């Protein structure tokens, strides 16, 4: 019988106790002081940051993990041989009896049936909460404080690279435990102390000795019976973690093992659905034979691929379909849209989704431990930028209202503006053409269409007749009709009290209507000479809180020059 497909039907006065499954675990009253806003060094990080407790800013990847082929890293981009490379750790040990040495080794291929988990997690009340520590290790501790002591299991993985923890997050959710991060050679004191408080019946180390050394393993055995689940590389480690934690699953998630963004959201969703996460070489023509065997052993019928063809190519999709699986792909134009696609495929149209988690899309450290918690609260995990919330994420939240927002990491990772939901507005040039008049005083111009004012409150671009006019940024159309000397005029409202205006559009050339939502770069009209105009051109205006401002410096500050 597949474990973890439903909540145990026993509610007690302080919450719900769940048995071995991926559903949300909740306690009603005591609030743990973990929504800290202390500055964090868990900022946007590179995929393999230096062994420091203070991660450095990300410089590792383009904004998209799902569109640019460069996001599909080759093996040379990752640690060699792997954080999971210890040959003597290629199979997980059996769960030791408390009276036996903890490092007994299980025979290859032998699976382990875990006792049902009795996990209690403190939910978040309405509002925005931040889980952050002084570094990535302390942040994983703050995340683990939502778990009451006495957890059945705790997972530990390196905090300096992502692959082992990605699969471990779903496994931790499946077995009812938190995921904590460690340095490779030393178990941070804050993590050691928290593990002692949690008093797990068992600790699982994800990965080989490159990621978590023998010394750290030995320290963990002094806290609780400890086993290591690690393979020769990241792909085998994911396979072994899944074999260890899952007995059956009808759905499995696949993500590239060479970059982290797509798998972060997928690991949280997978854990909430009782599904494993397999890592693949996205550039290969097929999955590993061992991965195929793992899928078949679990009884998987549907495979969901996280990310676009640039990170997991279509050959793998075809291979899995030919092997008899139903294959679905959750992908967007970049890592942020992919996190939306993954979450909407799982949560779209559902009611009762009470929490939403947010992590920096350019760093993995905070989200690794957060994914295990999000999964056990049946909560989506969205990727955001440090200073703002991508528009697709904001739109997804409007369709999936949640009462509690949980920010993972300090302000260096997810700033206050992003936590508030301030939009990341992209800007584009509204039309092509040379500047024919600038913002400022000028003599009135009179035409059969009327006379202009003595102050020119916009920027004129000589586009030629019928040239496309584009929305300078995303927003809602609030005016689309004739407007005096402006002629045919369109006005768009953007976030933050901003509006843009587009005048002299040709007759029949307004291509939008009031109430339409338009994206940056969308064609909204065709250039003309209606109103007080002497030739076909675009008169472009920018309003800040209702006041017209010079479009040139405004757009230059956003990387757009005319």
pLDDT at 315: 97
What average pLDDT is seen over the chain? 81
In terms of domains, do 352 and 383 share one?
yes
pLDDT at 440: 93
What's the pTM value of the predicted model, to 2 decimals?
0.66
Instruction: Please tell me the distance from the alpha carbon of residue 513 to that of residue 481, in angstroms, as a whole number.
Output: 9
Q: What percent of the chain has pLDDT over 70?
A: 79
Within-domain flag for 96 = no
Interval 98-118 mean pLDDT = 35
pLDDT at 37: 33
Read off the pLDDT of residues 203-226 as tens digits, 9 standing for 90 and up: 999 999 999 999 999 999 999 999
Ramachandran angles phi, psi of 445, nearest 5°: -115, 125
pLDDT at 76: 30
Least confident of 21-30, 155-164, 257-266, 318-327: 21-30
Within-domain flag for 98 = no
Within-domain flag for 46 = no
Reference 380, options 414, 355, 345, 407; nearest CA is 355
H helices then E strands: how many in the chain?
Answer: 13, 33
In terms of domains, do 164 and 288 share one?
yes
In terms of domains, do 418 and 498 share one?
no
Q: What percent of the chain has pLDDT over 90?
A: 66
Order of all β-strands in the sheet with 404-408: 127-131, 404-408, 355-360, 381-384
Instruction: Please tell me the distance from the alpha carbon of residue 204 to that of residue 102, in angstroms, as a whole number.
Output: 11
pLDDT at 98: 31
In terms of domains, do 277 and 242 share one?
yes
In terms of domains, do 281 and 412 share one?
yes
Q: Is 178 left (phi over 0), alpha (psi -120 to 50) or beta?
A: beta
Dihedral angle, C-alpha 536, 562, 454, 548, nearest 10 ° = 110
**Residue 5 confidence class, pLDDT cut points 50, 70, 90:** very low
Read off the pLDDT of residues 365-413 as tens digits, 9 standing for 90 and up: 899 999 999 999 999 999 999 988 988 899 898 888 789 999 999 999 9
What distance, in Å, lies between the first and last C-alpha atoms of the chain?
Answer: 65
Q: Which of 371, 405, 424 is the last residue of a domain?
A: 424
Ramachandran angles phi, psi of 417, nearest 5°: -65, -40
Instruction: Name 174's Cβ contacts closer than 8 Å, sequence gap at least 6.
Output: 3, 4, 20, 21, 22, 245, 246, 271, 274, 276
Output 450 or 336, whichever has higher pLDDT: 336
Read out DSSP for 399-467?
HS--SEEEEES-TTTS-HHHHHT-EE-----S--SEEEE-SEE----EETTEE--SEE-SEEEE--TT-
In terms of domains, do 399 and 438 share one?
no
Q: Which of 369, 390, 424 is the last residue of a domain?
A: 424
In terms of domains, do 474 and 350 share one?
no
Within-domain flag for 310 = yes
Within-domain flag for 18 = yes
Within-domain flag for 83 = yes
Output 175 or 11, whichever has higher pLDDT: 175
CATH number of residue 473's parent domain: 2.70.70.10
In terms of domains, do 259 and 397 share one?
yes
Interval 41-45 mean pLDDT = 32
Instruction: Please tell me the distance from the alpha carbon of residue 291 to that of residue 313, in angstroms, as a whole number.
Output: 16
pLDDT at 310 over 90: yes
Q: And the tokens for 365?
A: 């450290």
Q: Which of 398, 424, 450 is the last residue of a domain?
A: 424
The number of distinct structural domains making up the chain is 2
The DSSP output letter for 47 is: S
Which structural domain range is residue 302 located in? Answer: 11-32+68-87+128-424
In terms of domains, do 265 and 288 share one?
yes
Within-domain flag for 156 = yes
In terms of domains, do 227 and 198 share one?
yes
In 10 A of CB 437, how many CB atoms?
15
Within-domain flag for 357 = yes
Read off the pLDDT of residues 227-236 as tens digits, 9 standing for 90 and up: 999 999 999 9
In terms of domains, do 279 and 374 share one?
yes
pLDDT at 519: 84
pLDDT at 28 over 60: no
């Amino acid at each position: 019988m597949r474990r973890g497909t439903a909540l145990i039907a026993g509610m007690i006065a302080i919450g719900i106790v769940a048995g071995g499954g991926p559903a949300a675990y909740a306690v009603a009253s005591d609030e743990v002081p973990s929504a800290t806003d202390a500055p964090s060094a868990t900022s946007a990080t590179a995929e393999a940051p230096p062994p420091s407790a203070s991660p450095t800013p990300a410089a590792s990847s383009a904004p998209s993990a799902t569109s640019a082929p460069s996001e599909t890293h080759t093996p040379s981009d990752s640690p060699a041989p792997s954080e999971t490379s210890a040959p003597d750790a290629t199979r997980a040990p059996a769960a030791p009896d408390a009276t036996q040495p903890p490092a007994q080794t299980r025979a290859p291929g032998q699976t382990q049936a875990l006792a049902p988990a009795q996990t209690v997690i403190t939910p978040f009340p309405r509002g925005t909460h931040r889980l952050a520590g002084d570094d990535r290790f302390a942040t994983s501790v703050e995340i683990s404080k939502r778990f009451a002591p006495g957890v059945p299991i705790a997972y530990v993985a390196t905090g300096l690279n992502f692959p082992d923890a990605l699969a471990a997050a779903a496994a931790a959710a499946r077995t009812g435990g938190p995921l904590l991060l460690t340095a490779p050679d030393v178990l941070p004191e804050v993590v050691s102390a928290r593990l002692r408080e949690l008093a797990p019946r068992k600790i699982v180390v994800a990965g080989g000795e490159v990621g978590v050394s023998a010394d750290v393993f030995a320290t963990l055995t002094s806290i609780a019976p400890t086993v290591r689940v690690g393979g020769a590389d990241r792909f085998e480690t994911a396979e072994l973690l899944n074999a260890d934690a899952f007995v059956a699953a009808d759905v499995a998630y696949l993500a590239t093992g060479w970059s982290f963004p797509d798998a972060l959201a997928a690991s949280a969703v997978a854990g909430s659905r009782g599904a494993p996460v397999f890592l693949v070489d996205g550039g290969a023509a097929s999955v590993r034979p061992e991965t195929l065997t793992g899928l078949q052993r679990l009884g998987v019928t549907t495979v969901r691929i996280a990310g676009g063809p640039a990170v997991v190519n279509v050959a793998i999709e075809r291979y899995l379909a030919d092997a008899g699986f139903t294959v679905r792909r959750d992908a967007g134009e970049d890592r942020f849209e992919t996190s939306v696609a993954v979450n909407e495929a799982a949560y779209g149209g559902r009611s009762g989704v009470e929490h939403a988690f947010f992590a920096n899309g350019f760093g993995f450290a905070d989200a690794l431990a957060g994914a295990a918690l999000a999964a056990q609260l049946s909560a989506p995990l969205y990727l955001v930028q440090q200073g703002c919330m991508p528009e697709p994420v904001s739109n997804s939240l409007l369709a999936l209202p949640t009462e509690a927002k949980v920010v993972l990491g300090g302000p260096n990772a997810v700033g206050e503006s992003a936590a508030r939901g301030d939009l990341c507005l992209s800007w584009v040039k509204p039309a092509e053409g040379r500047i024919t008049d600038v913002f400022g005083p000028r003599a009135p111009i009179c035409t059969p269409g009327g006379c202009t004012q003595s102050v020119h409150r916009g920027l004129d671009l000589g586009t030629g007749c019928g040239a496309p006019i584009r929305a300078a940024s995303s927003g809602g159309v609030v005016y689309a009709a004739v407007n005096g000397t402006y002629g045919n005029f369109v006005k768009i409202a953007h976030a933050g009290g901003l509006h843009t205006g587009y005048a002299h559009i040709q007759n029949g050339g307004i291509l939008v209507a009031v109430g339409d939502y338009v994206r940056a770069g969308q064609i909204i009209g065709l250039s003309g000479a209606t109103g007080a105009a002497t030739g076909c051109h675009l008169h472009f205006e920018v309003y800040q809180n209702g006041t017209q401002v010079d479009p040139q410096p405004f757009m230059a500050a956003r990387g757009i020059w005319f």
